């Protein structure tokens, strides 16, 4: 009998977690735009053009497509946020970072109803070797699988060794090499490399 779908579900869903050197944009919204503006960095038209060329959106400029200057997570895992000062974000998912900043804003008593939107700016991974489109690709969502990564790169060519795909990941003090067999679905789903992280090289 064919295995049930539940048996092929990865045991742990690994969302992208912020790390030092990651760049993010943070936008604070409120019913009172003047108060919210104290917590927002300025908009840059040049970044808008670059953002559109990267994402392929193009077209007319709109408030939703404008890009603000970003924050870089420092070596201690912090960002320097307007009014609030240092905020520790390393190790948090995008949603956890939004919730953390919202909580700090409410505690500051300077804004009553903040809505915080955090977006990734420079997070990406590289795919090299026997794929149709090798290169560096942008991570644009909270979780990204190995299959998503290979799909963006146009899948392996006829010469690609599906039984021996390597993924190199930079851990805290050293790089870790994962060897993956794309023909062994159970091994793929059980591997820590099933969910791609920023900086991975496949």
- pLDDT of the residue at 1: 46
d(CA 43, CA 101): 20
Q: Of 114, 108, 110, 113, whose CA–CA distance to 87 is shortest?
A: 108
Residue 166 scores a pLDDT above 80: yes
Rounded to two decimals, what is the model's pTM? Answer: 0.76
pLDDT at 10: 57
**CB-based contact 125:136 (threshold 8 Å):** yes
Instruction: Return all residues near 6 (Cβ < 8 A) that are at least 6 apart.
Output: none
Residue 8, pLDDT score: 57
First-residue to last-residue Cα distance in the chain:
33
- How does pLDDT run across 170-191, given as a tens digit for each residue? 887 789 999 999 999 899 999 9
For residue range 126-164, list pLDDT tens digits in order.
Answer: 999 999 999 999 988 898 999 999 999 999 889 888 999
* Mean predicted confidence (pLDDT) in 32-41: 84
Predicted pLDDT at 51: 42
Nearest partner of 144 among 90, 187, 199, judged by Cα? 199
Distance CA 183, CA 178 (A): 15
As a whole number of angstroms, the distance between CA 118 and CA 68 comes to 11
Q: Phi and psi (nearest 5°) for 118? A: -110, 130
Least Cα distance to 198 among 78, 13, 22 occurs for: 22
- Confidence (pLDDT) at 112: 85
- Asked whether the beta carbons of 198 and 22 are under 8 A apart, the reply is yes
pLDDT tens digits, one per residue of 116-134: 999 999 899 999 999 999 9
Say how many C-beta atoms besides its own lie within 10 A of residue 133's C-beta: 10
How far is Cα 115 from Cα 101, in angstroms, rounded to an integer? 9
How far is residue 202's CA from residue 186's CA, in Å, rounded to a whole number? 19
> What band does 7 get if pLDDT is binned at 50, 70 and 90?
low
- What percentage of the chain reaches a pLDDT higher than 70? 81
- Tens-digit pLDDT profile for residues 64-94: 445 567 899 999 999 999 888 999 999 999 9
């Amino acid at each position: 009998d064919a295995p049930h779908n539940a048996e092929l579900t990865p045991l742990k869903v690994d969302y992208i977690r912020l790390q030092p050197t990651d760049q993010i944009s943070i936008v604070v919204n409120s019913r009172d735009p003047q108060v919210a503006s104290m917590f927002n960095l300025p908009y840059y038209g040049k970044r808008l053009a670059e953002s559109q060329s990267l994402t392929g959106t193009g077209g007319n400029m709109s408030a939703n497509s404008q890009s603000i200057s970003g924050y870089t997570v420092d070596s201690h895992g912090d960002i320097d946020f307007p009014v609030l000062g240092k905020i520790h974000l390393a190790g948090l998912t995008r949603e956890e970072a939004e919730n953390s900043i919202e909580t700090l804003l409410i505690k500051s008593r300077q804004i009553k109803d903040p809505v915080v939107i955090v977006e990734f700016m420079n997070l990406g991974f590289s795919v090299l070797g026997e794929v149709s489109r090798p290169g560096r690709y942008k991570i644009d969502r909270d979780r990204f699988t190995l299959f998503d990564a290979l799909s963006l790169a146009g899948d392996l060519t006829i010469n690609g060794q599906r039984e021996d795909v390597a993924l190199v990941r930079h851990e805290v003090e050293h790089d870790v090499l994962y060897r993956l067999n794309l023909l062994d679905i159970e091994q793929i789903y059980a591997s820590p490399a099933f969910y791609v992280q920023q900086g991975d090289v496949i």
